[in-house]
Amino acid sequence: MSRPEILFPLFADLETLEGVGPKTGQNLGHLGIQAPRDLLFTLPHTGIDRALRETVEGAPLPTTLTVRVQVGAHYPARNRGGAYRIHVEDAETSFQLVFFHGRSDYLNKALPTGSVRIVSGKVELFDGIANMVHPDHILPEADASDIPAFEPVYPLTAGVTQKTMFKASRAALTRVPTMAEWIDPLQLAQAGWPDFRTAMDSVHSPKSQADMSPDTAARTRLAYDELMAHQLTLALARASERRIAGTETAGTERLQARVRAALPYAPTAAQERAIFEIGADMAAPERMNRLLQGDVGAGKTLVAFMALLIAVEAGGQGVMMAPTEILARQHLEGLQPLAEDAGVVLEILTGRDKGAERQAKLDALARGDIQILVGTHAVFQADVTFADLRLAIVDEQHRFGVRQRLALGKKGGSADVLVMTATPIPRSLALAQYGDMDVSVLDEKPPGRKPIKTAMVSTGRMDEVVARLRAAMDEGRQCYWVCPLVEESEVMDLTAAEERFKRLRAVLGDDRVGLVHGQMPPAEKDAAMAKFQAGETGVLVATTVIEVGVNVPNATIMVIERAETFGLAQLHQLRGRVGRGEAASTCLLLYQAPLSESGQKRLEVLRETEDGFRIAETDLQMRGYGDLIGTAQSGVPRFQVADMERQAGLMAVAQSDARKLLADDPTLSSPRGQAARVLLWLMRQDEAIRLISVG
């Protein structure tokens, strides 16, 4: 499928626009502008009031003014590089136009003495005299209308001036065709939005500062177009996923009932809801593609295990995959007791399994003797075959994008897919990143979880902190000590951790302190972790390698050094490493005074709440969403008009609209479906167009 003809003018060469030559075209490329279409989506971010005034008298200087003047005497520069001054008078006062490196022949022609001109530019006071240095506009009175009363200001790059951007965007606007409407007519009428072309004209021709607000009808409409194109892409990915026939896997509850009977307390309502949603998806003929989102300690393991049991009850197998060996072993430890309650065969497969032992496991899997497999991604090697794989659970610590999820689907055949994430994601972001999936959220903590006391302590009180650790260790408790992240340099991270390790050993005793950092060989790291898990060391000094999934119920103190250098989500994850056992736990946020305002706010939010979703929302507001997830690797789009933080509601409307449109018209062949195809091309969603179902 190729780009529809109606869009050709918008995707032509930039040089086809009036006033844009090869050099300017090349410079515009630095702003990411490749075609007239991109100029349209580069919106002005502010504006300058250039309405004609009577006089500069009484204006709050410095400011940009437009006045009608009578040109007086010229005073050329006395020395090279000096200022060329021209005396002018408006209706009430006189002032000077100033030009550096001014050329007499040019200025005498542009501003002949005795003539009347309209001048517009920034007016400032120098030695009590008003000066307009290098006016932006100098025009004869007849051409006064060439200056817009309110001039939009565009983002610039080297070699591109405001004048160039203004002219080029005007030229691009003349190319916008009249297109059929892709927004649901009801939605359009209710919101009172203009059509696409009117919206474009309006955002590039603001009449006042108020017109620059993201909440204007025109800007909101264009933001919606962007979100709609993105959600259509995700909905198409979802539909192509669902076209892969799944297997109807219905549970009998027989094994689940055994586990429930053995649980010390009832599952939370959120867990029950998630188990129900997953069960319904597995029983349906389409393939499940669901995200299980839960905060630290919300009980994802139980939900995941119940889902695996549904696969086993139906006579099939389930697999749970983790990104690292340490995490796979932890899943094994978490699931083992549940598997014993249910009486099912659980086994682990990692890169460590070699030779005969590995072969024996592979044979048992192929015969169906192993019912649930836990493993690293080694599970996906060519020689691993299942007798009847019904469910694949991915414990997602590295963010999978839509593409990776589609690839995962191809390997699992018709198995249902459940992706788990322990990072609470604000709703707007979840919609942007996982809009192709159905989402189950665990937003309650299971009973018996003790709250964690969080305190802020300045680094000046380090000795008190160490004394506190010693007291806890004397009571048989264990502690984590997380070292600061030093700017990007692993070597520096290492020194920080090793320094702290040496000092703590000197104070607390050599055998009581362990060390884990990113530069260690995996075997050493595993050994240090194992000693800590077994309770042989009392304090584990670590760089952030421990934030993911480590489970040591006896650890009750988490010290985070230079906490202000960490992101909120990361701090919340780290804190979730304690509070897993019977005893009361504490998290100490060690900060270096003085704290910046945002540092203070971050740590205070953490001190006040343990609700990961609230923390994630705050993080999003504070850092903006590009930072929050490191957009480069996250599979989340960058929008030019839409603002993810402010327009989360709009994103939700776009999602339900996109899904409904595809449900009614899977091949996008109705008139509105055809219009939606044009939208996808317009928004450069070429990937999506390939997903439109054929026939």
Q: Indicate whether 124 and 109 sit together in one domain.
A: yes
Q: Indicate whether 470 and 604 sit together in one domain.
A: yes
Q: Which residue, 285, 281, 327, is CA-closest to 303? A: 281
| Residue 356 counted as domain residue | yes
Dihedral, 113, 115, 121, 124 alpha carbons, nearest 10: 50
**pTM for this entry:** 0.63
List the domain range (segments joined by +) for residue 72.
Answer: 51-147
CATH number of 73's domain:
2.40.50.140
Q: Indicate whether 525 and 490 sit together in one domain.
A: yes
Cα 588-590-595 angle, rounded to 5 deg: 130
Strands (E), 533-573: 539-542, 555-561
Q: Is 664 left (phi over 0), alpha (psi -120 to 50) or beta?
A: alpha
State the pairing for strand pair 346-349/83-89. Answer: unpaired
| Residue 472 counted as domain residue | yes
Q: Indicate whether 433 and 538 sit together in one domain.
A: no
- Please give the tally of structural domains in the chain: 4
Query: What's the start-to-end Cα distance of the chain, in Å?
Result: 14
Q: Indicate whether 288 and 361 sit together in one domain.
A: yes
* pLDDT, averaged in runs of 10, over the chain (695 residues): 86 87 85 88 87 82 86 85 85 87 82 87 86 88 80 82 85 93 92 94 89 89 93 82 75 90 88 94 88 80 93 92 80 88 91 87 91 82 82 70 54 77 71 75 75 87 88 88 66 70 85 81 80 87 65 85 82 82 85 82 84 74 48 54 78 89 90 92 80 55
In single-letter form, the type of residue at position 592 comes to Q
Structure tokens at 664: 């009614």
Q: Which residue, 546, 597, 602, is CA-closest to 574? A: 546
The angle that helices 612-629 and 597-608 make with each other, rounded to 10 degrees, is: 150
Cα 609-610-614 angle, rounded to 5 deg: 70
| Residue 643 counted as domain residue | no
The pair phi, psi for residue 446, each rounded to 5°, is -60, 150
Question: Which residues 6+ apart lie within 8 Å of 579 measured at CB?
Answer: 297, 449, 450, 451, 452, 556, 585
The pair phi, psi for residue 255, each rounded to 5°, is -75, -35
| Residue 603 counted as domain residue | yes
Residue 412 confidence (pLDDT): 55
Q: Indicate whether 30 and 81 sit together in one domain.
A: no
Q: Indicate whether 281 and 389 sit together in one domain.
A: yes
Q: Indicate whether 571 and 466 sit together in one domain.
A: yes
584, 609, 634 - which closes a domain:
609
Q: Indicate whether 536 and 390 sit together in one domain.
A: no
H runs (alpha helix) in 446-548: 462-474, 490-508, 522-533
* For residue 594, cis peptide bond before it (omega within 30 degrees of 0): yes
